[in-house]
Amino acid sequence: MLKGKTALVTGSTSGIGLGIAMALARQGANIVLNGFGDADGPRAQVLEAGRAAGIKTGYHGADMSKPGDIQDMMDYAAKDFGRVDILVNNAGIQYVSAIQDFPVERWDAIIAINLSSAFHTTRLALPAMLAANWGRIINVASVHGLVASAQKSAYVAAKHGIVGLTKVTALETAPTGVTCNAICPGWVLTPLVQKQVDAKAAEKGISNEDAKKLLLGEKEPSMHFTTPEQLGELAAFFCSPAGDNVRGVAWNMDGGWAAQ
């Protein structure tokens, strides 16, 4: 379905981003990965996922808090792949604290990586997408882009901002072949969430499995984690012809969290 297209997925060396990259690779898209840590392992996984379609992959280690790095990454993608047809803004970090105790530098980092980076990638990707009259911008928000939780002021503010940016981008591109939508997952068992599970297990003196059930029970009626693979399939749907007129949605995949 996406043969000849190129997808750039930020924060894609693990978790949700890697799941989305693999789903798009299976549809034939070339993939540009981004993230910290080991890139060779994830790149091999993506290549395997897209092996039947003969895809190629790239990697850029841009620090998504730095606009200069983001510019370099977008220039690299344009130079090596022609242009970015599909932009998935997934990079994100988390910090948990009451507002009065929230470190200012943590606030600034979360807003920069979780929100401002999506603005920078979008503004740089749009000209080529509009010239081609085809493009997909998928912003990975969160159920916290729709509702709030205590102790997560910066994350919730950033994710609400991502939903707002998604709507504005969708309106500005509405008459064109470029679409912009947001995915709003509930609990996904990524390394980021596993840290919260571990902390809850330590705090309560319970097993990891019991901590997972406690975490899900607080918010997610389905009592099941959403998987990166499921989120990848939703991203692939947005990129399909069926998604041509899906514009500006904040699509929650959250086991009923926001329905309460």
Q: Active-site residue numbers?
A: 155
197: left (phi over 0), alpha (psi -120 to 50) or beta: alpha
Q: What backbone torsions phi and psi does residue 57 show, to the nearest 5 degrees?
A: -130, 160
15-26 and 40-49 are packed helices; what angle lies between their axes, rounded to 10 degrees?
Answer: 30
DSSP 233-250: HHHHHHHSGGGTT--S-E
Which helix (H) or strand (E) covers residue 30, if one does?
Answer: strand 30-34
